[in-house]
């Protein structure tokens, strides 16, 4: 019997370590796994998750050069409220020579500030903007306090035009066919576009009107649709990267190009 393939999930597919400097995240996404874990371990409640509390220890400490790539942040976002402290931590990471993957549902003003402040660390910085749909109705439902599509696209264009390394995470993809979105993003990508499925959704406070959103996820996560996505991805070449969760659902070995 062949040895089971090791599945890497979530952020481990992208970086060797994570840094965060807040607890809680005002975006309050309904599929947030960090929120689920924070509630399970009594660090937050369903109501308090969207309050972003600075972690002074993480903000004030020093950061040495780490092995491999560092992802910042992974369990909160860079918002107008958290920007100043995020800049403090990012500066320490860059000054120590770390390669940093900045992952965010981008707010244009924050991206402008980051680009201006860290222009000299351009070679150490890659942006990975999470843009999960072109449909603002879906974004407003699943990611209630995050920026709308137009602001995220504007941020991507800005970072690209300033000469930064750019990539996008379409995880979780919220449109049945994520390739309409892919086509819009491609001109502004220097690295990769990652497509992943929704692995978790909160079932708290669902009302009758919300049910259609949940049912649609079952449909777009069906094996039939995932298979269609793996086929379409091949046409785009190496720039499209499918996350392990898709291959895992289909019982397929990851394609070599990933
Ligand atoms: S942006 Fe990320 S950390 Fe924040 S609520 Fe959404 S999924 Fe959670």
One DSSP character per residue, 177-191 reads STHHHHHHHGGG-SS
Question: In this model, does residue 250 exceed pLDDT 50?
Answer: yes
* Domain membership flag for residue 30: yes
Three-class SS of residue 104? strand
83-95 vs 108-117: helix crossing angle, rounded to 10: 30
* Domain membership flag for residue 255: no
pTM: 0.93
Residue 219 Cα to chain centre, angstroms: 22
249/240 Cα distance (integer angstroms)? 18
Q: What is the distance in A from the centroid of ligand 1 to the CA of 40?
A: 16
The alpha carbons of the chain give a radius of gyration, in whole angstroms, of: 18
For a pocket test of ligand 1, which of 11, 23, 29 has the largest count of ligand atoms closer than 8 A to its C-beta?
A: 29
Question: In this model, does residue 144 exceed pLDDT 50?
Answer: yes
Three-class SS of residue 142? helix
When divided into structural domains, the chain yields a total of: 1
* β-pair partners for 146: none
Q: What is the distance in A from the centroid of ligand 1 to the CA of 97?
A: 27
Which residues have a Cβ under 8 Å from the Cβ of 232 and sit 6 or more positions away?
Answer: 177, 179
Question: In this model, does residue 1 exceed pLDDT 60?
Answer: no
* Domain membership flag for residue 2: no
Residue 79 Cα to chain centre, angstroms: 14
Specify the pLDDT at position 205. 73
| Position 4 confidence tier, pLDDT thresholds 50, 70, 90 | very low
* Domain membership flag for residue 67: yes
Across the range 6-14, mean pLDDT stands at 61
Specify the pLDDT at position 5. 39
Percent of the chain with pLDDT over 70: 93
User: What CATH number does the domain containing 87 carry?
Assistant: 3.80.30.10
- Of 252, 143, 236, 225, the residue nearest 194 (C-alpha): 236
In the structure, which protein residues have their CB atom closer than 6 angstroms to any atom of ligand 1?
25, 27-29, 32, 34-35, 75-77, 105
* Domain membership flag for residue 124: yes
For a pocket test of ligand 1, which of 14, 18, 26, 27 has the largest count of ligand atoms closer than 8 A to its C-beta?
A: 27
109/79 Cα distance (integer angstroms)? 9
Neighbour tally for 10: CB within 10 Å: 16
* Domain membership flag for residue 4: no
* Domain membership flag for residue 203: yes
Q: Which domain holds residue 86?
A: 10-250
Specify the pLDDT at position 16. 94
* Domain membership flag for residue 5: no
221/206 Cα distance (integer angstroms)? 20
Across the range 226-253, mean pLDDT stands at 91
Specify the pLDDT at position 171. 96
pLDDT by residue (tens digit) across 19-43? Answer: 999 999 999 999 999 999 999 999 9
Question: In this model, does residue 127 exceed pLDDT 60?
Answer: yes
Q: What is the distance in A from the centroid of ligand 1 to the CA of 237?
A: 29
Percent of the chain with pLDDT over 90: 84
């Amino acid at each position: 019997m062949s040895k089971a393939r090791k599945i890497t999930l979530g952020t481990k597919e992208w970086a060797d370590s994570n840094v965060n400097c807040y607890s809680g995240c005002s975006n309050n996404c309904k599929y947030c796994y960090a929120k689920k874990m924070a509630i399970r371990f009594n660090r937050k409640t369903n109501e308090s998750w969207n309050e972003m509390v600075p972690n002074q220890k993480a903000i004030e400490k020093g950061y040495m050069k780490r092995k491999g790539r560092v992802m910042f942040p992974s369990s909160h976002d860079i918002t107008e409220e958290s920007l100043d402290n995020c800049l403090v931590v990012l500066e320490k990471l860059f000054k120590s020579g770390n390669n940093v993957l900045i992952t965010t549902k981008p707010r244009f003003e924050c991206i402008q500030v980051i680009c201006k402040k860290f222009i000299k660390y351009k070679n150490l910085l890659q942006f990975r903007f999470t843009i999960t749909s072109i449909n603002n109705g879906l974004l407003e439902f699943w990611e209630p306090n995050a920026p709308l599509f137009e602001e995220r696209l504007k941020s991507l264009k800005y970072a690209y035009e300033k000469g930064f390394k750019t990539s996008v995470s379409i995880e979780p993809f919220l449109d049945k066919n994520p390739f309409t979105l892919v086509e819009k993003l491609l001109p502004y990508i220097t690295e990769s576009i990652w497509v992943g499925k929704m692995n978790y959704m909160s079932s708290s406070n669902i009302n009758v009107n919300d049910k259609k959103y949940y049912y649609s996820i079952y449909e777009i996560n069906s094996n039939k649709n995932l298979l269609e996505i793996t086929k379409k991805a091949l046409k785009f070449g190496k720039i499209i990267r499918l996350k392990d969760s898709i291959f895992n659902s289909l019982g397929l070995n990851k394609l070599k190009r990933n």
